[in-house]
């Protein structure tokens, strides 16, 4: 961390807009602001957290008409002195004002450096810092509520309680190890096992929310699968509300996967339209079929689309054999035409009937998707959801360490071995909140932030 540097960066996106914000943070924020900001009325001193009208100036030259605010530490996002200049949102005034700040001694902020300083100065723990990026990149209201809950400390508070329990156990254990001559007895095995099992159970409960949390953050990967010419591209266009994929009466029009994002009933979805699956000798079409098969492995849900107006054939059966039964919704298309009976081997799949070309039954499809996905999106702001892979892996490591501890207790291992497992469990929880996170991991996390945040 460049603790002696005052950093500067635009806090708003590049491009043209009505307003842009340029942010400074560090010991020299006030002095730099004084050199480049001329208030409309003379000031002896800036009142903290008050907005002033004036001009950004380069010597005697006016650069832009602006508003400026100085926020003194520690009541700022970074817990350092912070100054902001609100100027017109064009590339020219923004670049000129940033250049003025750099000439006065500021340095350009790295990606995520403002949030990194907030973390290192104790304003946020690491989980809360990551939630800042979660809010910025949220693709639905539910994802935003989940990230906001993490920013407010919902995950961190829960982990603090668990860590407190483990620290108490470790303190008792290490006291016994360090002062063995004092004959300090350990609690009996049953009580230890009960306490450790209770912590492990809570860790596993938190980890179990990852599937729902990951889908809220990244979007549910929904694969549209079927033989050629059953209406996959029409369904994609219908759900998107625009003509994204080519629709043709000729089979095999889609040769590669097409991926698009949308929000359906509160769920962010990643819709994937695939090449039609069938037995073929066409090398290009065969490659499209193979890519579709590869997408099945990573899909959260598969929409198995069939043409309800025609008898189910061997190509439909081939597609069915690819589908994971527990993650597949049967979608019967062309409900507006005379329907053919479905074979008994399709009876085990949840089913919905639609007419993709005329937008018939799309609401029913949305409801069916939500039922299969569960309804975690509705209370994402009130319940705890883990949505970062890093957090999930740390929770798994903690659970594994507690498993080893329980086995060691049952086998009557020496206190030194028990302490190693307890320390490992605590280290895993500390990686989530930042107490035990290696510097290279911190660099990776904050490098993914945008500049200015």
Does 286 carry a binding-site annotation? no
**The dihedral of CA 85, 88, 94, 100: what is its sign?**
negative
H or E stretch at 332: strand 328-333
Decide if 140 contacts 215 (C-beta within 8 A). Answer: no
Q: Is 84 known to sit in a ligand binding site?
A: yes
251 marked as part of a ligand binding site: yes
- Is 453 labeled as ligand-binding? yes
| Cα distances (Å, whole numbers) of residue 343 to 25, 310, 311, 326, 333 | 67, 12, 9, 19, 15
229 is in an annotated binding site: yes
SS3 195: helix
Q: Answer whether 7's CB lies under 8 Å from 113's CB.
A: yes
Is 275 annotated as contributing to ligand binding?
Answer: yes
- Would you say the C-alpha torsion 113, 116, 117, 118 has a positive or negative sign? positive
Is 340 annotated to bind a ligand? Reply is no
Please indicate if the annotation marks 293 as binding a ligand: no
What CA–CA distance (Å, rounded) separates 63 from 273?
A: 51
23 is in an annotated binding site: yes
Determine if residue 211 is labeled as part of a ligand binding site: no
Show Cβ contacts of residue 329 under 8 Å, excluding neighbours closer than 6 positions: 301, 302, 303, 304, 349, 350, 351, 352, 368, 369, 372
Ligand-binding site membership of 374 (annotated): no
* Cα separation, 437 vs 430, whole angstroms: 7
Q: Is residue 227 part of an annotated ligand binding site?
A: no
Q: Is 430 annotated as a binding residue?
A: no
CB-count exposure of residue 78 (10 Å: 0-12, 13-18, 19+)? buried
Q: Which residue has the tokens 């179990």?
A: 208
Is residue 248 part of an annotated ligand binding site? yes
The answer on whether 273 is annotated among ligand-binding residues is yes
CB atoms under 10 Å from CB of 275, counted, come to 26
Is 233 known as a binding-site position?
yes
What pairs with residue 61 in β-bridges? 58
Question: Which residues define the annotated binding site for Mg(2+)?
Answer: 233, 254
Question: Which residues define the annotated binding site for (6S)-5-formyl-5,6,7,8-tetrahydrofolate?
Answer: 23, 84, 123, 453
Question: Which residues define the annotated binding site?
Answer: 23, 84, 123, 229-234, 248-254, 273-276, 453
Question: Which residues define the annotated binding site for GTP?
Answer: 229-234, 248-254, 273-276
């Amino acid at each position: 961390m460049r603790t002696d540097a005052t950093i500067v960066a635009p806090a708003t996106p590049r491009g043209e807009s009505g307003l842009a914000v340029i942010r400074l943070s560090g010991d020299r924020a006030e002095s730099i602001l004084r050199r480049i900001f001329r208030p409309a009325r003379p000031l002896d001193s800036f009142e903290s957290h008050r907005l002033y009208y004036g001009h950004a100036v380069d010597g005697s030259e006016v650069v832009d008409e602006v508003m400026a605010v100085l926020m003194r530490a520690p009541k700022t996002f970074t817990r350092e002195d912070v100054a902001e200049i609100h100027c017109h949102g064009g590339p020219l005034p923004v670049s000129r004002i940033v250049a003025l700040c750099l000439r006065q001694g500021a340095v350009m902020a790295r990606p995520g450096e403002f949030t990194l300083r907030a973390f290192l100065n104790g304003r946020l723990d690491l989980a809360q810092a990551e939630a800042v990026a979660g809010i910025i990149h949220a693709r639905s209201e539910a994802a935003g509520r989940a990230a906001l809950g993490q920013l407010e400390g919902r995950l961190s508070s829960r982990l603090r309680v668990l860590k407190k329990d483990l620290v108490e156990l470790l303190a008792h254990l290490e006291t016994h190890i360090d002062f063995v001559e004092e004959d300090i007895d350990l609690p009996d095995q049953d009580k230890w096992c009960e306490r450790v099992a209770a912590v492990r159970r809570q860790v596993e409960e938190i980890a179990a929310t990852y599937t729902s949390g990951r889908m809220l953050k990244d979007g549910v990967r929904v694969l549209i699968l079927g033989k050629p010419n059953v209406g996959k591209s029409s369904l994609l266009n219908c759900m998107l509300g625009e003509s994204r994929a080519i629709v043709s009466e000729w089979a095999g029009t889609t040769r590669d996967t097409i991926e698009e994002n949308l929000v359906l009933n509160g769920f962010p979805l990643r819709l994937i339209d695939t090449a039609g699956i069938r037995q073929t000798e066409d090398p290009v079409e065969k490659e499209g079929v193979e890519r579709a098969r590869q997408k099945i492995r990573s899909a959260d849900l598969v929409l198995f689309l069939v043409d309800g107006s025609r008898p189910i054939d061997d190509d439909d059966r081939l597609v069915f054999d690819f589908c994971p039964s527990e993650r597949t919704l049967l979608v019967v298309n062309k409900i507006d035409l005379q329907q053919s009976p479905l074979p008994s081997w399709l009876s085990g799949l949840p089913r919905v009937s639609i007419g993709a070309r005329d937008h018939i039954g799309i609401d029913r499809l949305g409801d069916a998707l939500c039922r299969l996905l569960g309804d975690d999106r509705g209370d994402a702001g009130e319940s705890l959801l883990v949505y970062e892979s890093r957090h999930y892996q740390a929770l798994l490591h903690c659970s594994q360490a507690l498993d080893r501890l329980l086995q060691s207790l049952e086998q009557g291992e020496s206190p030194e071995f028990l302490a190693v497992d307890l320390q490992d469990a605590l280290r895993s929880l500390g990686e989530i909140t930042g107490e035990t996170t290696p510097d290279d991991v911190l660099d990776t996390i904050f490098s993914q932030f945008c500049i200015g945040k």
